[in-house]
Amino acid sequence: MWQEAEKLFVVNKAASSSHENKLMKTVIVVHGGAWDVPDAAAEATVAGVKNAAQVGDTVLRSGGSAIDAVERAVRCLEDDPTFDAGHGSVLNAAGEVELDSLIMDGKNLAAGAVASVRNIANPVSLARAVMEKTDHVMLTDRGAGMFADSISTPLAHDLVTELELEEWEHSNSYRDGVKRFFNTNRGHDTVGAVALDSFGNVACATSTGGIRNKMVGRVGDSPIIGSGGYADNGSGAVSCTGHGESILKVTLARLILFHMEQGKCALEATNMSLQHMFDRVKGCGGAVVLSSTGEWAASFTTPRMAWATVTEDTLHHGFNQREHFTEKL
Amino acid sequence: MLPVVVVHGGAGHIPKDRAEASTIGVKEAASTGYALLQRGGSAMDAVVEAVALMETNPRFNAGLGSVLNVKGEVEMDALVMDGTTLGSGAVSAVRRIANPVRLARLVMEKTNHLCLTAEGASKFARSMGVPEVPEESLITDYAKMRWKKNLEPDANPNGNIACATSTGGMLNKMEGRVGDTPCVGCGGYADNKVGAVSPTGKTPEEASDLALRYMKERVEGLGGVVVVNPNGTWAARFSSLQMSWAAAQQSQLHFGLFHVVALPNCGKDHLPQGQ
């Protein structure tokens, strides 16, 4: 263990910036979903991502792991009914909440995912349990529920909010269904985070309630490795949001990292990949991205995406296109 | 650009007494798919029919003959993808369906989604009039001894590429376990525009070997792939001990089982005329 830490230290020294104690600078980037966020939700959405980023940063600054940081940050967003994840998730065609989540550790490519789970307040933690307590990477539906039960995860029966019930009834009466959301900027309220810890490890996590009025059992990109997220110490970490079906078709997370492996910076890789997704399958979305050296990007092709980054005692955040605010912490 | 159909019946260890049946099965699937192409069928038609044949064949871990999960049940995953549009359909952890690959195709063609899982997939099947079959009808005596995957990319005369994958998954897997098979980009991928002009310049064979080596070194995983590019260049490569595979192109049927080509289970046949 000590030897391994030493080896990381030597590698990171070349890559890190200026800190005398020679640990990597830490970075966490969080998003609250790429979509046409209505004005009424703007303030809560921005406050939510800023809070989640700071929660994640606290973990990193105290020497915690990237995996711990992304899980904590995403749990905040799942617990916040403003976001389409955990509490506050949109409802499927049957008026129920079905949740998807993914978490991945860039050190050894370990990953855990759950798809179409019900009555779980924090799917990202269940996904982490799949990663750490089973020999598998992904569990779905009934099987995921049985696993949750086997590790004594309490059931949550209060995930359906009044607002979402109203929205669901409204969309039903106008027969909106998913067709209306297909390739548009609506209802893509997935949450996610990427982090780089002081040991040089990266991780990602993504969580969602999916698309409003989706078919029962519909699984989008969020729990799918390479699409909803990916993390590899060798290249970086990504968490995606947007039209799930489009993200899957271009394996967006892996595509972004591929471009970084070919030498593009994080922002260029993200923009090229989002452009490709639009050109090839007419899909819009966004991503938060980290390279293995701590370079970060938050970019989106929808009108809005609330994002926040904490690194080197500074909070960066944005919401509308081309916004980038900074605050000293 | 030559049309081609490449199939495999799973990468792993294939016991001697099963090897012949496995080889016959992949040859039959490749020939059937290729014949469909010759009659003017699409790449998607060809891959779905070839994989459906292997699902019906009790010798393969897909459909009938699937391995069982920890509870002794059959839970199946399948994926189809169309290289022209990147359209895709998948089902995961679906039960009591004879041909999951056909259901995956219906997801692609009849819904706005890419993947349906478990109960939702069954509900969709019912809505499409796809009959539910008894669990026992999918379970063979040999089911607990196998772990195979079926994968088939191919190209038709128009240069369109499609792939299909189907599996019963891993022996004694947990209930609800989903593997790579129904995950776009993992169990399969198809894009007409990739490979013809590759940014990294690798052939299907080079790309496959590099990828398999990476998987072995990085996460100690073994496996196999069949690959075709829009020009009709194909490869069947594996890092496991064996993989039964067959490729039909022009009037030749190539097939293999082991790494060394000169063994009895490998070789070339001529495809029957007029099919």
> Is B264 contained in some domain?
no
Interface of A with B in 9-28 (CB under 8 A): none
Q: Does A311 qualify as catalytic in the annotation?
A: no
Whether the per-residue pLDDT at B93 is higher than 50: the answer is yes
Query: Of A139, A142, A182, which has the smallest distance from its Cβ to B178's Cβ?
Result: A139
Q: What is the pLDDT of residue B199?
A: 58
Q: Which residues of A are annotated as a binding site for substrate?
A: 218-221, 241-244
Q: What is the pLDDT of residue A16?
A: 41
- Classify residue A104 by its DSSP letter: E
> Is B74 contained in some domain?
yes
Contacts of A249 in chain B (CB under 8 A): 86-88, 114, 184
> Is B26 contained in some domain?
yes
- Sign of the four-CA dihedral B268, B269, B274, B275: negative
> Is B131 contained in some domain?
yes
Choose, out of A215, A227, A276, A282, the residue to mutate when testing the contact with B (most B CBs < 10 Å).
A215
| Strand extents, DSSP E, chain A | 27-35, 99-105, 110-117, 138-140, 191-196, 202-208, 229-232, 236-242, 285-291, 296-300, 304-311, 314-320, 325-328
What string of pLDDT tens digits covers the 329 residues of chain A?
Answer: 333 333 333 333 334 444 434 567 999 999 999 999 999 999 999 999 999 999 999 999 999 999 999 999 999 999 999 999 999 999 999 999 999 999 999 999 999 999 999 999 999 999 999 999 999 999 999 999 999 999 999 999 999 999 889 988 888 776 554 544 444 434 557 999 999 999 999 999 999 999 888 999 999 999 999 999 999 999 999 999 999 999 999 999 999 999 999 999 999 999 999 999 999 999 999 999 999 999 999 999 999 999 999 999 999 999 999 999 999 99
DSSP-based three-state secondary structure for B186: coil
State pLDDT tens for residues B61-74: 899 999 888 888 99
Q: What is the pLDDT of residue B52?
A: 97
Query: Which residue, A155, A164, A157, A156, is CA-closest to A81?
Result: A164
DSSP-based three-state secondary structure for B12: strand
Buried b (16+ CB within 10 A) or exposed e, A10-37: eebeeebeeeeeebbbbbbbbbbbbbeb
- Classify residue B213 by its DSSP letter: H
Structural domain total, chain B: 1
State pLDDT tens for residues B156-183: 445 788 999 999 988 788 888 999 999 9
Separation CA A139–CA A142 (nearest Å) = 9
> Is B267 contained in some domain?
no
Q: How confident is the model at residue B141 (pLDDT cuts 50, 70, 90)?
A: confident
What is the side-by-side strand order in the sheet with A304-311?
A138-140, A110-117, A99-105, A202-208, A191-196, A27-35, A304-311, A314-320, A325-328
Nearest chain B CA: its distance from A144 CA (Å)? 6
Average pLDDT, chain B: 87
> What's the CATH code, domain A2-328?
3.60.20.30
Q: What is the pLDDT of residue B156?
A: 42
Q: What is the pLDDT of residue A188?
A: 54
> Is B263 contained in some domain?
no
Query: Of B120, B175, B177, which has the smallest distance from its Cβ to A217's Cβ?
Result: B120
ipTM score of complex: 0.84
Query: Which of residues B145 and A139 earns the better pLDDT score?
Result: A139
Contacts of B186 in chain A (CB under 8 A): 224-226
Q: Angle, to 10 degrees, between the axis of helix B100-110 and the axis of helix B118-127? A: 80
Query: Which of residues A7 and B111 earns the better pLDDT score?
Result: B111
Write the DSSP assignment of B91-160 as a string of letters.
EEEE-S-S-HHHHHHHHHHHSS-SEEEHHHHHHHHHHTTPPP--GGGG--TTGGG----EEEEEE-TT--
Domain that holds residue B9: 4-256
What pTM was estimated for this model as a whole? 0.88
> Is B266 contained in some domain?
no
Domain boundaries, chain A: 2-328
Separation CA B224–CA B238 (nearest Å) = 4
List the CATH number of the domain containing B43.
3.60.20.30
Q: How confident is the model at residue B274 (pLDDT cuts 50, 70, 90)?
A: very low
Radius of gyration (Cα) for chain B, nearest Å?
17
Residue in the structure block whose two tokens are 């600054």: A61
Per annotation, catalytic residue among A26, A45, A153, A190: A190
DSSP-based three-state secondary structure for A14: helix
Residue in the structure block whose two tokens are 């899982």: B117
Separation CA A19–CA B182 (nearest Å) = 45
B174 touches chain A (CB under 8 A): yes
Q: How confident is the model at residue B265 (pLDDT cuts 50, 70, 90)?
A: low
Contact A196, A233 (CB under 8 A): no
State pLDDT tens for residues A218-276: 999 999 999 999 999 999 999 999 999 999 999 999 999 999 999 999 999 999 999 99
Q: Which residues of A are annotated as a binding site?
A: 218-221, 241-244
B62 φ/ψ sector (left φ>0, alpha ψ -120 to 50, else beta): beta
The burial class, CB within 10 Å (0-12 / 13-18 / 19+), for A158 is exposed
Q: What is the pLDDT of residue A181?
A: 46
Choose, out of A91, A219, A238, A261, the residue to mutate when testing the contact with B (most B CBs < 10 Å).
A219
The burial class, CB within 10 Å (0-12 / 13-18 / 19+), for A156 is middle
> Is B275 contained in some domain?
no
